[in-house]
Structure 1
C-alpha cells in the first residue's frame, strides 16, 4: 500500500511517499481503508519532535519518530475486523482516530470509530475527529458553557475554532470570534455575534469582558487573557506557539495551572484530542451534532496523498482556513 513515512524529525520535506506493508490486525482491532485524512497542528508537532520536552516525556520518540506513518484523523470504510469486535463490519463507512492515517490502510480500535454521518463526504468526515472533539471539550466539557454567556474564541477561523464557534452558538451563547481579516465573514456565518479582526485590534485591550475564553492560539500573555475575563470567568487554553521551542506550549500551560491555584477565575488547559484521550461518547456527540445540522466542517483545501507534505506545510505556516484534508482514494 502507499503511505506517507517519516524516518527522522524535521520540516515537511522529511515526509515521503513510500510502498509500505498493509497493517495486520489482531483481536479487538479494526482495519480501515482510508478515503481521506485530515492534517492537524498535532501532525507537524510530531513531525518536528516539537517541543523538545515532549521527546523526554515519551510522546514523540527521543531521537527518531516513534510512529513512522503520519496522520491520525481518518474517514473511510471498514476493511476487516478482528475477533471480539462488535457493531462494525466490513464496508461500514466510519470516521475517527486511526494512527498512521496518511496511508491507504490504517489500524485502530472500535472505540475510536463512529459511523460517518450520511450527509458528509469522506473528505468532510475526515475533518471532524480531532478538531471537533477538542472544540466540544473546550466549550462544553471543560468550559461549562451555558446559554446567555459571553464566549470568546481566539483563533476562530482555524480547524478547532470553526467548530467551537458553532458549538458555542448552538448552546445559546453570545459568541465573539477572533480571526484574521480574510476570515471575518466566515466566522460570522458560523454563528458569531461579534467578530474581532486581530490585525486591526486586540481584544484584550477592549473593555468587554467574557464568561469563557477558548484560546487556540497562545499569542497573548496570561495576564492579558485574564483581564478580558469576568472576575469569575473561565479560560480554556489550548496550546499554541511556534515550532522549534524547547518547551513550546507546555511552559505556558504549566503557568496556567500554577496561577489557577491563586485566583477566583477558572484557568484550565486542554490538549488536542488524540487516541490517548478521546472517548467514544465525544465522537458520538459530535456526529449527532452534525446529523442535526448544528455542526458543519469547514475545509480550506485538499491535497492528494502524494502531496501530503505540502498540506502539512500549509497548516504549519498558519494559513489554514478551517481544515486541510489529504485525499487518499
Structure 2
C-alpha cells in the first residue's frame, strides 16, 4: 500500500511517499481503507520535533530518541471498513467510519488498523469522507474542554483563535450548549466566525480584545497566542480559563490558582473512546456542527500541505483526499 513515511525529524521535505506492507487486523481490530486524513498542528510538531523545552525528554522517549518510532504520521481519518477481526462486534465490512489515531498515528496510508473499542465511530451520513476526517481531534478536543468547564445556558464564552480547527468547533459547540459566544480572529476570518454562530466577533488586528470592558464565564484559548494576564482581567470570579495547547502551568498561572477562585484547564488528551465521536456525529447530522475545510490536497501533495499548515494561518482544517493520489500506482 502507499504511505507517507518519515525516518528523521525535520522540515516537510523529510516526508516521502513509499510502498509499505499492508497491515492485518488483530482479533479486536478493524482494517479501514482510508479515504481521507488531515494535516494537524500535532502532525507538524511530531514531524519537526517542535515541543516545549520542558517536554523535550519525555517527547523524545515517546516519539523516538534518534529517529521516529512511528514512521507514518496522520492522527485522524475517515474511510470504509474492509476487514474485521474475529472478535469485533460493533462494526462490519462496508461500514463508513471516522476515527482518531493519536496513540499510534498511521493515517497517512491507504489502510489503517483500529481497535474496535477506541475512538472510532460510524461516519455522519450527511458529510463527505474529507469532512468527517476533520472532526476526530479538533471537535473532540473542543467538546472535552467545554464539558469539563461545565458550560450552562446563558453563560458568556470567549474563544481566542476562533477560526482554527479547535476554535471553530469551540464556537459552535459552546453555542449549542446555550452560551453567548464571542470569537477573536483576524480580519479575513470575521465573516466565517459569524457564520459559525458567534454572537460577537473581535478583530485582534485592529482591536485589543481585553479593552472592551466585557467579562466572561469561560475563556477558551485555542492557539496560545493571547496574554494570560489580559485573559485574567476578563475572566469572572469562579470562571474557567481553558488553554488546549499549553501542557504546563506558568508561574503566573500557578499564582492565579493559589490566590483566586478562577479555574484553569490546560492541555491534555481526551479519553480514547467513541462516545464523543457518536455525540459529534449526532450534532453534524442535526445541522448543529459544520466542518470548516480550508484546503484539500492529495497524498502526493503532503509536503505542500505541511508547508501550508506550518505557516499557522489555516482556517479550520486541511484535508488529504487519499483517492486523488497518483504516484506509485
TM-score for the superposition, normalised by structure 2: 0.92
Q: Aligned-pair RMSD on alpha carbons?
A: 1.6
2:95 maps to which residue?
A: 92
Contact kept? 1:237, 1:253, Cα under 8 Å: no
Q: 1:134 and 2:141 equivalent?
A: yes
How big is the shift at 1:321?
Answer: 0.7
Corresponding residue for residue 57 of structure 2: 56
Give yes or no for the alignment of 1:2 onto 2:2: yes
Identify if the C-alpha distance between structure 1 residues 167 and 20 changes in structure 2 by more than 3 Å, giving closer, same or farther: same
Output one character per residue of 1:259-286: Cα deviation in whole Å (capped at 9) or x when no partner: 424321111113354xxx3322111111
Deviations 1:106-150 (A, max 9, x none): 1111122100111011011101100110011122x1221111111
Structure 2 partner of 1:192: 198
On the 8 A contact 2:28/2:88 being kept in 1, the answer is yes
1: CA distance, partners of 2:254 / 2:144: 17
Work out the CA distance in 1 between the residues paired with 2:143 and 2:251.
22
Q: How many residues align?
A: 316
Shift of 1:53: 4.3
Distance 1:252 1:316 in 2: 25
Q: Is the 8 A contact 1:167 1:295 kept in 2?
A: yes
2:27 equivalent in structure 1: 27
Give the corresponding residue for 1:217.
223
Q: Is 2:47 aligned against 1:47?
A: yes
Shift, 1:236, TM fit: 0.7
TM-score (norm 1): 0.92
Report matched runs for 1:221-260 at 5 Å. 221-239=227-245, 249-252=246-249, 256=253, 259-260=256-257
Q: Give unpaired runs (5+ residues) of structure 1.
A: 240-248
2:308 pairs, out of 296, 303, 314, with 314
Report the secondary structure of 2:24's partner residue: coil
Distance in 2 (CA, whole Å) between partners of 1:34 and 1:302 is 15
1-side partners of 2:54 and 2:236: how far apart?
33
Give the SS at the match of 2:9: coil
Residue number in structure 2 paired with 1:243: none
Are the structure 2 counterparts of residues 182 and 252 from structure 1 closer, same or farther at C-alpha, using a change threshold of 3 Å?
farther
Q: Distance in 2 between matches of 1:115 and 1:264?
A: 41
1:288 CA drift (Å): 1.2
Aligned mates of 2:251, 2:99 — CA distance in 1: 29
Bigger drift between 191-200 and 20-29 goes to 20-29
Give the Cα separation in 1 of the matches to 2:34 and 2:228: 40
Taking a change above 3 Å as real, the CA distance of residues 325 and 255 of structure 1, as seen in their structure-2 partners, is farther
- The 3-state SS of whatever aligns with 1:230 is strand
Q: Distance in 2 between matches of 1:129 and 1:257?
A: 31
Q: Counterparts of 1:170 and 1:34 in 2: how far apart (Å)?
A: 30
Q: Is the 8 A contact 1:236 1:267 kept in 2?
A: yes
Q: Quote how far apart the aligned CAs of 1:55 are.
A: 4.5
CA-CA distance at 1:254 after TM superposition: 7.8
- 8 Å contact kept, 2:247–2:266: no
- How far does residue 324 in structure 1 lie from its aligned partner after superposition? 0.4
Number of the residue aligned with 1:168: 174
Pick from 146, 163, 173: which aligns with 1:157? Answer: 163
